[in-house]
């Protein structure tokens, strides 16, 4: 595991945290929504809020955690691809 990576947040942990006063803030921080793109950040926050308000079950918690992981992975992959593309473009300009 990389030093900047936190261990995976689980649906069981989400279920345990949903009754806390700051549940939305705590859960979204554990899902690392601030590392996602703006639309995914907002979408995930809305899903978590609906889960907390509707007292969702374990199956719903698992779905939210799975989608949040996928969104985070996609965002990280896009960032790496963009950086590599920018480096390649800079290199081509220097070669010209």
In this predicted model, what pLDDT tens digit does every residue of 83-93 receive, in sequence order? Answer: 888 887 777 66
What's the pLDDT at 96?
56
Round to whole Å and give the CA distance between 41 and 31: 10
Q: Give yes or no for residue 82 having a pLDDT over 50.
A: yes
Domain that holds residue 76: 11-95
pLDDT band at 95 (very low <50, low <70, confident <90, very high): low
List pLDDT tens digits, range 34-60: 999 899 999 999 999 999 999 889 999
DSSP symbols for 35-80: GS-HHHHHHHHHHHHHHHHTT--HHHHHHHHHHHHHHHHHHHHHHH
Round to whole Å and give the CA distance between 73 and 67: 10
Based on the structure, what is the number of domains in the chain? 1
- Determine, yes or no, domain membership for 16: yes
- Determine, yes or no, domain membership for 3: no
- Determine, yes or no, domain membership for 81: yes
Question: Model's pTM, two decimal places?
Answer: 0.76
| Averaged pLDDT, 17-30 | 94
């Amino acid at each position: 595991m990389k030093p900047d990576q936190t261990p995976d947040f689980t649906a069981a942990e989400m279920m345990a945290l949903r009754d806390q006063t700051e549940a939305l803030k705590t859960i979204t921080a554990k899902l690392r929504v601030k590392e996602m793109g703006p639309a995914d950040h907002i979408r995930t926050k809305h899903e978590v809020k609906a889960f907390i308000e509707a007292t969702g079950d374990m199956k719903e918690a698992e779905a939210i955690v799975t989608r949040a992981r996928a969104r985070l992975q996609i965002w990280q992959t896009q960032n790496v691809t963009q950086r590599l593309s920018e480096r390649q473009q800079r290199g081509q300009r220097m070669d010209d």
